[in-house]
Amino acid sequence: MVYPVFHLATNEAGVITTVQYKWKKLVNDTITDASAADIKAYVEDTSADTSFVHTSPFISFFTDANTLKGGCIKFSRDGTSVDVSSANVKTSEIHHIQAALNLTSRVVCKFDLY
């Protein structure tokens, strides 16, 4: 399993400006850093392909159990951070964060992070 681990960077007003992320993998109950080859082998990058369920990978912020704020923000499987300042979300407003990935096996993985 390959998945991102997130760190939220904020400005002085508490608005999330950047989501930094690092890809990890879980193999036989051991977590290690995922290599670029691991990520490309398991995570689809569907920025231009709409034949799958959604663009992949993306992150979303929810202010309660059902209210999405700022939309679904695409991040790169090849990067380490994404600018999310346009979402205008404060950390104090977050109920949970959702990350979603389309795997190359055509399985969609969604993670709700509380």
Q: For the chain, which domains are there?
A: 2-113 (2.60.40)
Cα 61 from chain centre: 10
Question: Closest Cα to residue 44, out of 73, 76, 68, 21?
Answer: 76
Distance CA 58, CA 77 (A): 10
pLDDT in single tens digits along all 114 residues of the chain:
899 999 999 999 999 999 999 999 999 999 999 999 999 999 988 765 556 667 789 999 999 999 999 999 999 999 999 999 999 999 999 999 999 998 888 788 888 887
What is the pTM (predicted TM-score) of this model? Answer: 0.86
Residue type, 88: N
Q: Coil, strand, or helix at residue 80?
A: coil
CB-CB neighbours of 78 under 10 Å: 11
